[in-house]
């Protein structure tokens, strides 16, 4: 998802990736107060699972979530 796309554009170390994901989590939490840390938990290799949780909880498509995060 977001972290994967960041890696494609720029080599980053783990600390930079975590920092970027924390920024994205903040954006989502501001827009959707019902989201919890569990909803936004990112586990390596579980990107699709997390996106599915967010899509279901927010009633948004993958494209809508990417637009919200400015990833288009």
Q: Check residue 70 and give left, alpha or beta (phi > 0: left; psi -120 to 50: alpha).
A: left
Distance of CA 55 to the CA centre of its chain: 11
Which pLDDT belongs to residue 22? 85
Q: What is the DSSP letter of 10?
A: S
Q: What is the pTM of this model?
A: 0.62
The structure tokens listed for 46 are 């579980």
Whole-Å CA distances, 33 to 25, 36, 54: 11, 8, 13
Which pLDDT belongs to residue 6? 52
Helix extents (H) in the chain = 2-9, 14-31, 47-58, 62-68
Which pLDDT belongs to residue 33? 92
Which pLDDT belongs to residue 20? 81
Which pLDDT belongs to residue 4? 56
Domain boundaries, given as residue ranges, for the chain: 2-68
Which pLDDT belongs to residue 13? 67
> Which regions of the chain are under pLDDT 70?
1-18, 71-72
């Amino acid at each position: 998802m977001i972290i994967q796309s960041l890696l494609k554009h720029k080599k980053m170390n783990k600390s930079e990736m975590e920092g970027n994901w924390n920024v994205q989590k903040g954006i989502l939490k501001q827009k959707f107060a019902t989201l919890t840390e569990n909803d936004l938990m990112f586990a390596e290799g579980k990107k699709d699972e997390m996106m599915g949780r967010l899509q279901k909880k927010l009633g948004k498509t993958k494209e809508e979530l990417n637009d919200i995060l400015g990833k288009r």
